[in-house]
Amino acid sequence: MCGPETPSNLPRIGARVDFYSSSTRQPLGNLLFHNPSTPSSSSATHVRFSSPGSSSACSSRSSSPAPSLSSERQDGDVLVSIHVSGDMSKPLPESGLLQQFTLPSTFRQEGHEIALREELSLVVGRGIIGRRVSMMRGDELLADGIIGFNALPESMASF
């Protein structure tokens, strides 16, 4: 579904959505939905932003400099919408709305994490896996992507 095929025996650490600029399709970063007190939990209580140049194990890797969400306009909060549909070919208004929350403009600092108002289920079907996520500031679509499972790289797995 998202990213390279990962063996099912690798531990999963939350869910992740990689964001790409709606205009340039360059990577902007990702959001990691997770439960810091129980990393293998099937529900998320927190969200963390990582930019493409981050050294975090849970962030996108890029060999060339790429724009980041933090280099976008700094004035205003960002509205994150989790849509009912995972179909990226549909216009956003036709994708339905499952959940929304606001990221303050200060959120885009590397490693910043916020608690979610309510837990999000990290499963396929009734949960958020496979759903489309959009980030908007005002009427401007900044980025969108699909939520997938986030597995630890084999080199970091201790099983």
Segments making up each domain of the chain, as ranges: 12-58+70-151
Give me the mean pLDDT over the 128-157 stretch. Answer: 83
Contacts of 25 (CB under 8 A, 6+ apart): none
Neighbour-count burial for 49-62, b at 16+ CB within 10 Å, e otherwise = bbbbebeeebbbee
Question: Is pLDDT larger for residue 124 or for residue 112?
Answer: 124
Number of C-beta neighbours around residue 24 at 10 A: 10
Give me the mean pLDDT over the 70-99 stretch. Answer: 84
Question: What pLDDT, on the 0 to 100 scale, is given for residue 109?
Answer: 59
Question: What pLDDT, on the 0 to 100 scale, is given for residue 103?
Answer: 83
List the CATH code of the domain at 12-58+70-151.
2.60.40
3-class SS of residue 53: coil
The phi, psi pair for 89, rounded to 5°, reads: -85, -15
Give the single-character DSSP code of 67: -
Contacts of 147 (CB under 8 A, 6+ apart): 2, 15, 16, 17, 33, 82, 128, 129, 130, 131, 133
Mean model confidence pLDDT for the chain:
77
pLDDT band with cut points at 50, 70 and 90 for residue 70: very low
Task: Name the nearest CA neighbour of 150 among 21, 81, 48.
Answer: 48
